[in-house]
Every structure is written in C-alpha cells, then in structure tokens.
Amino acid sequence: MASDASTTDQPIHPSEAEGVAREPLVLNNRSMAWVTDRICGIVENRQPLIWWVLFIPSVLLAGLLGGTLVYLVSTGVGVWGNNQPVAWGWAIVNFVFWIGIGHAGTLISAILFLTRQKWRTSVNRASEAMTLFAVVCAGIYPGFHVGRFWMVWFLAPIPNANAIWQNFKSPLLWDVFAVSTYFTVSVLFWYVGLIPDLATLRDRAKAKLAKVLYGLFALGWRGGNRQWRHYEMAYLILAGISTPLVLSVHSVVSFDFATSIVPGWHTTIFPPYFVAGAVFGGFAMVLTLMLPVRKLYGLEDMITHKHVDNMAKIILLTGTIVGYAYIMELFISYYSASKYEGDAFHLRILSGPYTWAYYCMFFCNVISPQVFWFKKARLNLWVVFIVANIVNCGMWFERFVIIPTTLARDFLPGQWGYYSPSITEKLMFLGTFGLFMMLFLLFIRFLPVIAIAEVKGVLPENDPHHPDWVKLKEKRRAAAAAE
Amino acid sequence: MSENRTTPFAYIAEFGSAPELYHAAEHVRDAGFKRWDVHTPYPVHGIDKAMGLGKSWLSTCSLIGGVTGFLTALSLEFFTQVMLYPTVVQNKPTNLSTIPAFFPVMFELTILFTAFATLIGLCAFIMLPRWNHPLFNSALFNKFSDDGFILVIESRDPKFRKERTREFLEEIGAGEIELLEA
C-alpha cells in the first residue's frame, strides 16, 4: 500500500491505509454520476405502476378525510364518539400517534448529524418528509377537537374578540407553540437540506417548467465553497437547535397529561417516556416506508443492510426504554401508596374495560422488538418490516391505553363510562393515512428521496483516507483514458 | 480598446478529484488571487483552509435571532399575563413567581426565531436567492451539481491575465479549461 501511495500526490497514512475498514455506506463502489442518475431518475422517469396503485386510493382516502371534516363541521362534534367522561377520544389518541411518528425525521437529521452518524445521509431526507406529513396529519385533530373550528384563531397570541389573552400557563397553549414551532423549523431544516439537490435537479431538467420551478426553489445555488461553508454552518446550527426542539415537543405533549391531576397521567416519567416512545414509533414508520421504497426504486446500494440494522437496533433500544417506563409506572403507583394511582393502574392492567388494549400495547411495543437482539432477525427484511408494523400498531395502542383507559374511570363510580369511536372518527383516521400516503407519494414523485449531495460526501471514492482510495482513483483514471 | 468585443467573465477549470482540487486551491490561494471559488457536488472538508477562509460567522445571526425570540416570548407572556390581563385559572396566580410556567413558550420562540434568523442570515451571507448567474452558461461549470470539481477564477480579479492565468491553471493540474465570455 505504501508504494501505491507514493505514486500519487495524496499521501495516505499507513495506519489508515491498513486500518480496520468500516463497512462502506454506499456499496459496489458507485460513482457520483451513478448516485445522481439513480436518485434523480426517480423524479425524471415514469413512476412504476405500483406508484399509481398506491396513489389513487390515497387520494380517495384523503378526499374521504375532507368529506368527514365537512360533515363534522356542518353537523357538530357530536358526531364523534367522545363525551363525558372520555372527552379525549380518538382525536387526541391520533394526534399523539401522528406527532410521535413525526419525531424520527428530525431525530435522524439533527441528533444523528450532531453525533456524526454518517449513515443518516441515506435516510434523512425521506424521514424528514415523513415527519412533516405526519405533523400535518397530527395538526388536523386538535384543530377540529376544539369544537368550533372557525374559532381556532383564538389559539394565536392575539387578544380574542373579548380582549382576553391566552392562558400562557396552560399546557395546551404550550402545545400550540411547540407543535407549530416544530413544524416550521422542520420545514426550514428540510428545505435547507434540499437546496443543493434542487440545484442538481435544475441542472438536469429538460422541461421548461421543471427547470423554472426547480431553479426557483434552488435559489440559484452554485455549490461554491464560499456558499458551502456558510451553508454547512447553517445546517449545523439548525441541527443544534432541532435537537432540543425535538425533545421538547413530545415533552410538551406529555405535559398535557402530566400537569393534570388525573391519576395515571400525573407522573414525572411522562416526558422521557413519551420522547422514547416517539422515537420508537417514528423509526418504525421510517422502516415501513423506506423498505418498500428501497426495493421499488433500486436503492439497495444506498440504503444498505447496515442502515436497516442500525434502525432496528434503535427500535430495540427505545422499545426497551418504553418497556422500562411501563413497568416503572406500575411500580411507582404501588410505591406511592396512593389509592387513586393504585386503582388507576389496577383498572388498566387487571379489571378495567380496556385491559385488552394494555396487553396489545405491551406485546407490540416491548415483546415484539426483542427479536432484534438477533442479527439474523435484523438482517431479514421481512422480519424487520413485520415488526415495524407491529410497533406502529403498538404505539397507537399506547396512546389509546393512556387516554380512554384513564378517563373512562373517573373518581366517582357514577361518572364511569365507556368510550368507543363513532364511524366518523374511524373514517377520519383512515383519511389521515390517505393524506399521509398521498403527500409521501407526491414527495417521491417530485423531490429527491435521498440527499444526493450528502451521499456523495460519504462515497468511498470521496474519502481520501479510505484504504481503497488509491485503487479506486486509478481504476477511474484508466476507465476515463479508455474512453 | 481591444479587437475582442467580448470580455471574459472567468476561467473555469475542472479537476479530477476532491484532493486534486484541494491542492489546486492551495496554489491559487498562495498565488494571491481574490475573486475565485471552488464549486463541488458536496462540501469538501478542510477546503476552507486550502482557500484561506476562516470560520463562518453565521452563528452571530442565530444568536441575535435566539435572543430576540427569548425576549419576545418573555415580554409577550409577562405583559399579557401579569400586566394587561391577569387570567386566574384554577386559582393559580399570575405574577413574577409564575415565570416557570412561561418557560415552554420562551423556549419554543427562542428556537423559532433562531431558525428564521439562521435562514435569513444564510441567504444574506451567500447572496442568494439569485435568478441567474453568468457561470450557468457554461456546460463545464454545470457539472458541479453532478460529479465535477470545478475551480473558477473571475476576470474581476486584479491578478487575472488571459494567457498567464490559463498557464497557471494548467500548471496546477487542471483538466479541461474553459474561458467563459460574459
């Protein structure tokens, strides 16, 4: 290796040349041109039939969502099944479910960026997009749950019609600020990441309209280092502020529960437990979406088994944290010796009307990810896909367990009730899946699903310290000379 | 003044790889050029040093944004809740000691304003958005967004000479060289 290095102008330190080679993040020594072609090709070529097969039902379901919302507003929120004592039914369950899914994107982009986990480059773009679409779906629920949708502007920090200001001590108002800030900052972060890739699409675009639109959104990006160095600083700062932001959002969501005095909700474990659960559910959704995309568009060289393996490990870790939280909640309710806490959890796990939901949740979230202790399971894409979907269900059940289970048994037996969702709520939930899928499919159609510029930065050929760098470079030179 | 009606805009030179471009940048820096840049498909690490560029001070914009956001939230909450219209909900008082309940909104607005300040600062620092640029007329230059490592020396540079700069670029190992007319 030393003699090879001396023939080139780039010295390679012998220890690096002979050191332990990490598994490459992009397989088969792909070139930059290949990366550009493959990712831009998804946007430029005709979509496969399956895209249409998924897109049309998604649009119909999104239309169904619109229809149910029109029905809801024109009739009144009484068409939902929630009432006293369960005032927070599926609306809030689904809000927390979607907002939780919307955590993986920013986690992958921000936290993994700050911790220099370079494998994030292949999955961050799609996860960020997924985040945004999940937050869009989430935002619908509290918006309509307020009852009179046309009064939603009361949430904004302006005095309302009676000159009364918002109650800034209320966790529900904190939620408004947290979720809207999260959405806005996620959009900005996503867009800043897109700029260089939009420039690539602009430079390749054939159609006039495409060139104008991509050019408009690429802002005239020229990829000069005098731009890159500020760009990289901006990206670092956005990652730095998104990290506490993503942790704060689900903490604030959990404050909706934790700052109340309802037994079963009034616990200090809620913020970390919600954040771990959100990361857990978010990664499951990333896998649910990315495994088919990877297969369908031939992205196996960029989203490798290593990526799936890493995400499966994160699911295992966060799933186990969630399991710890479930058990710790039970222990604290026993240890506190509070009669009401004890009863709340007794009803939740033994004699209440929703114990089936508790065990569904426990199986899906704590037991099923344990298969990821085995490398064989992490490398089998079918196992990963199935477990990820079980986790998606489990995280929905978690929110269901927290909300109706607790509310259905109030302090006095005379206030006890049972909640089951109405058909409107069910259709609406189905509709948000349609909206989510529709937005994600449109994203695949019009924007690069993988961060092109970032992936180029982790290619083996662009790493001068890579053991094979000299060989690769000579191979490329020979190929160019042969042409 | 000269027989040539058109004036050149810049020399565009392509290099084979990031390390080659890196070393070329060192030569251009040492030759004392000022109006030049390297255009790459991805940010090449360490090339700031090879170009003689320091740290990006974009972070000052972010800091100003963050402080503005924090003060905005503090005054929004304090003026409306404590001074203008104290809302006593569930018998909870509103005064200086209730500030902890105001922390979440302060935190969120700090982040929100920082993000916007960073983005606006970025646009100002890199002088974008910009609808067009003379460099886009060059097919060689446009390889930057695919797999080209491009070095551009603009004719505005006081050291720019039509012949000498081309020779210089050839010396430092440029592949294809193009003289872009403005």
pLDDT category at A471 given cuts 50, 70, 90 is low
**ipTM, two decimals:** 0.92
Q: How far does A449 lie from chain B, in Å, by closest CA?
A: 16
pLDDT of B5: 55
Kindly identify which residue of chain A lies nearest to residue B43, measuring between CA atoms.
A228
Of A31, A185, A196, nearest to B111 by CB-CB distance is A185
Rounded Cα–Cα distance for residues A332 and A350 (Å): 17
Residue to substitute from B122, B131, B138, B141, interface A, most A β-carbons within 10 A: B122
More confident residue, B93 or A357: A357
Q: Is A169 on the interface with B (CB under 8 A)?
A: yes
Rounded Cα–Cα distance for residues A217 and A214 (Å): 5
Rounded Cα–Cα distance for residues B171 and B166 (Å): 9
Asked if B134 contacts B182 with a C-beta cutoff of 8 angstroms, the reply is yes
Which residues in chain B have their CB less than 8 angstroms from residue A454's CB?
Answer: 42
Q: What are the average pLDDT values for consecutive 10-residue runs of chain B, which has 182 residues? A: 66 89 91 92 89 91 96 91 82 83 94 96 92 90 90 90 90 89 78
Rounded Cα–Cα distance for residues A335 and A345 (Å): 12
The residues, any chain, with a CB within 8 Å of residue A479's CB and separated by 6 or more, are: none
pLDDT category at A464 given cuts 50, 70, 90 is low
Q: At which residue do the structure tokens 């600083």 appear?
A: A233
The order of strands in the sheet holding B8-15 is B36-39, B149-154, B8-15, B177-181
Q: Is A232 on the interface with B (CB under 8 A)?
A: yes
Asked if B98 contacts A169 with a C-beta cutoff of 8 angstroms, the reply is yes
pLDDT of A151: 87
Transcribe A73-98 into DSSP letters: HHH-GGGSS--SS--S-HHHHHHHHH
H/E run at residue B37? strand B36-39
pLDDT of A66: 95
Terminal-to-terminal C-alpha distance of chain A: 27
Taking alpha carbons only, the member of A201, A100, A111 closest to residue A449 is A201
Rounded Cα–Cα distance for residues B182 and B170 (Å): 22
Asked if A235 contacts A228 with a C-beta cutoff of 8 angstroms, the reply is no
Rounded Cα–Cα distance for residues A482 and B33 (Å): 36
Rounded Cα–Cα distance for residues B155 and B161 (Å): 8
Q: Which amino acid type is present at position A44?
A: E
Whole-structure pTM value:
0.90
Q: Is A478 on the interface with B (CB under 8 A)?
A: no
- Contact between chains at B85 and A170 (C-beta distance less than 8 A): no
Q: Is B64 on the interface with A (CB under 8 A)?
A: no
Q: At which residue do the structure tokens 């990366």 appear?
A: A35
Q: How far does B29 lie from chain A, in Å, by closest CA?
A: 13
Torsional sign, CA A128, A132, A133, A137: positive
Q: Is B40 on the interface with A (CB under 8 A)?
A: yes
Rounded Cα–Cα distance for residues A361 and A390 (Å): 10
Which residues in chain A have their CB less than 8 angstroms from residue B60's CB?
Answer: none
Q: Which domains does chain A have, with CATH numbers?
A: 11-468 (1.20.1630.10)
Coarse DSSP helix, strand, coil percentages of chain B, rounded to the nearest 5 percent: 55, 15, 35
Helix axes A355-362 and A305-335, enclosed angle (nearest 10): 140
Rounded Cα–Cα distance for residues A459 and A439 (Å): 30
Asked if A118 contacts A173 with a C-beta cutoff of 8 angstroms, the reply is no
Q: Which amino acid type is present at position B105?
A: V
pLDDT category at A17 given cuts 50, 70, 90 is very low
Q: Is A214 on the interface with B (CB under 8 A)?
A: no
Domain ranges of chain B: 8-54+128-181, 58-125
Q: Residue A429 has which token pair?
A: 């939930």
Q: How far does A21 lie from chain B, in Å, by closest CA?
A: 20
Q: Which amino acid type is present at position A122?
A: S
- Contact between chains at A234 and B118 (C-beta distance less than 8 A): yes
pLDDT of A218: 93
Rounded Cα–Cα distance for residues A473 and A458 (Å): 15
Q: How far does A377 lie from chain B, in Å, by closest CA?
A: 35
Per-residue pLDDT of A269-328, as tens digits, reads: 999 999 899 889 999 999 999 999 999 999 999 999 999 999 999 999 999 999 999 999
